[in-house]
Chain A
Amino acid sequence: MSAEADVLLIERAKSGEVAAFEMLVVKYRRRIERLIGRIVRDVDLVEDVAQETFIRAYRALPQFRGDSAFYTWLYRIAVNTAKKTVSDLARDPVLTESALSQRSEDDETSRVDQELTDGETPEAVLASREIARTVNAAMEALPDDLRQAIALRELEGLSYDEIAIVMNCPIGTVRSRIFRAREAIAAKLRPLLDTQQGRRW
């Protein structure tokens, strides 16, 4: 997670470049949906609430002063949007497909998806585990210098300057190692993602 990267993209979005805002959406969508899922607890609504969150964030972007990190600001919007959805549902209940399926007649048997906290399907859970396994295996298969560089960046949150000092190499080398590590992991991940989703974009 990098606040500096956000600043660059926020400035572009504020100058009317919607594409820069879309890049931020892709970056934060997973985290925003996980957050919303913990509040709404209905998998069918999570995506809609996420959409609404990003639209609200886009409208409010000119008021974002940068006093807090962008993701903190975005999280606040997501929490407010999710809470509003929950209170609206309490006043005017709507039965979604997933809610109905959870109340089906064979409720007496324990279904796996009812035991999941955020209503994810067993297939989605399996797919997530597969992604985790693939990423970890790809990390293990990396040469030491690439693995160390990307671990220092992604897990320790060090800047390129700091990684260069730790690894005793030029910043250009750090940049190249992190890129090559990402590409090596992405190459292992890509067939899996294409299988899971078909065409991704």
Chain B
Amino acid sequence: MALEPQARPEAPATDGLEGLSALLDGECGPADAAAFARRWRQDVQVQQHWDTYHLIGDSLRSEDLCRHVGQDRFMSTLRERLAAEPVVLAPAPLSTRRALRARWMRPVSAAAGVVAVAGSVWLLPVRQGGPVASVASSGTHSAPIAALAPGNGGDKRARTGGDWNRYLAAHQQFPAAAAVVPVSGYLRPADHDTADH
């Protein structure tokens, strides 16, 4: 393995390796990591220092790891095998993908919420004009039904259907029963207009 020609021959032997020491500790930026990864194959000094720094750390932490392993044969075999493998190309770095997803999901979720609320608000007046909504929102259940009677200013669609109007007029005496359907034993139909009749 040939040494990469030094850019500055007069520089000390450890020139630039402080960054390698920081990389070992995870205390450098991606640019430094990229720079050392690029130097790795050509620069035997980087390889030796990287190995020795790790041996020092391992030796300080555990007696079991005070073991010098010859890297040359192992690495040359591994390189041959890695060269035969397809190149690893993950679609995108994990952190970038997560950051992108988080960046898009928040405004999209907020927009979906706004659209849902806006849709409800937009639909509400339309439904309030209809017969069923007016039953629920009015103080007396019989009034809107009565408004549907011919000549009483009711819904145009209702007024145009003569059969429909006749049907509603015939059933005015059951407004509350028609509007409130008991769903359990705790609910009872109550007609507020009973006292008026």
Binding site for B on A (CB under 8 A): 1-9, 11-23, 25-27, 29-31, 33-34, 47, 50-51, 54-55, 58-59, 61-62, 65-66, 124, 127-129, 131-132, 135, 139, 150-151, 153-155, 159-160, 175-176, 178-179, 182-183, 185-186, 189-190, 193, 196-197, 199-201
List chain A residues, Cβ under 8 A from B36: 23
User: Contact between B37 and A58 (Cβ–Cβ < 8 Å)?
Assistant: no
Which single residue of chain A is at the shortest CB-CB distance from B28? A8
Task: Select B22's contact among A65, A135, A179, beta carbons within 8 Å.
Answer: A179
Count A-B pairs with CB separation below 8 Å.
Answer: 199
B46 to chain A, nearest CB (A): 9
Task: Select B67's contact among A22, A62, A131, beta carbons within 8 Å.
Answer: A131
3 cross-chain pairs, A with B, having the tightest CB-CB distances, nearest first: A4-B26, A2-B26, A5-B26
Cβ of B70 within 8 Å of any chain A Cβ, yes or no, is yes
Q: A34-B65, A131-B66, A132-B63 are in contact. Are A13 and B52 (CB under 8 A)?
A: no
List chain A residues, Cβ under 8 A from B48: 200-201
List chain A residues, Cβ under 8 A from B75: 22, 25-26, 201
Task: Select B38's contact among A19, A65, A190, beta carbons within 8 Å.
Answer: A19
Q: A2-B24, A179-B22 are in contact. Are A30 and B55 (CB under 8 A)?
A: yes
Bound together, the chains give a CA A150 to CA B25 distance in angstroms of 11
Q: A11-B30, A175-B27 are in contact. Are A51 and B90 (CB under 8 A)?
A: no
The stretch of B76-84, B122-130, B172-180, B181-189 that contacts the partner chain: B76-84
Q: A18-B82, A196-B68 are in contact. Are A51 and B77 (CB under 8 A)?
A: yes
User: Contact between B54 and A127 (Cβ–Cβ < 8 Å)?
Assistant: no
List chain B residues, Cβ under 8 A from A25: 75, 78
Bound together, the chains give a CA A139 to CA B56 distance in angstroms of 10
Would you call the interface of chain A mostly helix, strand, loop, or mixed?
A: helix
Bound together, the chains give a CA A59 to CA B88 distance in angstroms of 7
Bound together, the chains give a CA A23 to CA B34 distance in angstroms of 12
Bound together, the chains give a CA A149 to CA B79 distance in angstroms of 35
B64 to chain A, nearest CB (A): 6
Bound together, the chains give a CA A92 to CA B68 distance in angstroms of 32
Instruction: Encode B93-117 as 1/0 by CB contact (under 8 A) with A.
Output: 1110000000000000000000000
Task: Select B78's contact among A14, A22, A182, beta carbons within 8 Å.
Answer: A22
Q: Say which size band chain B's interface belongs to.
A: 35 or more
Bound together, the chains give a CA A15 to CA B38 distance in angstroms of 13
User: Contact between A179 and B18 (Cβ–Cβ < 8 Å)?
Assistant: yes
User: Contact between B78 and A186 (Cβ–Cβ < 8 Å)?
Assistant: no
Bound together, the chains give a CA A128 to CA B63 distance in angstroms of 8
B87 to chain A, nearest CB (A): 5
User: Contact between A139 and B60 (Cβ–Cβ < 8 Å)?
Assistant: yes
Q: Can you list 9 A-B contacts (CB < 8 A)?
A: A4-B26, A8-B30, A19-B37, A25-B75, A26-B50, A29-B74, A154-B56, A154-B60, A183-B14
Task: Select B57's contact among A50, A154, A193, beta carbons within 8 Å.
Answer: A154
Q: A16-B89, A23-B40 are in contact. Are A31 and B60 (CB under 8 A)?
A: no
Bound together, the chains give a CA A16 to CA B82 distance in angstroms of 11
User: Contact between B25 and A199 (Cβ–Cβ < 8 Å)?
Assistant: no
User: Contact between B26 and A135 (Cβ–Cβ < 8 Å)?
Assistant: no
Cβ of B51 within 8 Å of any chain A Cβ, yes or no, is yes
List chain A residues, Cβ under 8 A from B79: 18, 22
User: Contact between B21 and A175 (Cβ–Cβ < 8 Å)?
Assistant: yes
Chain B, 26-48, CB within 8 A of any chain A CB: 26-28, 30, 33-34, 36-38, 40-41, 44, 47-48
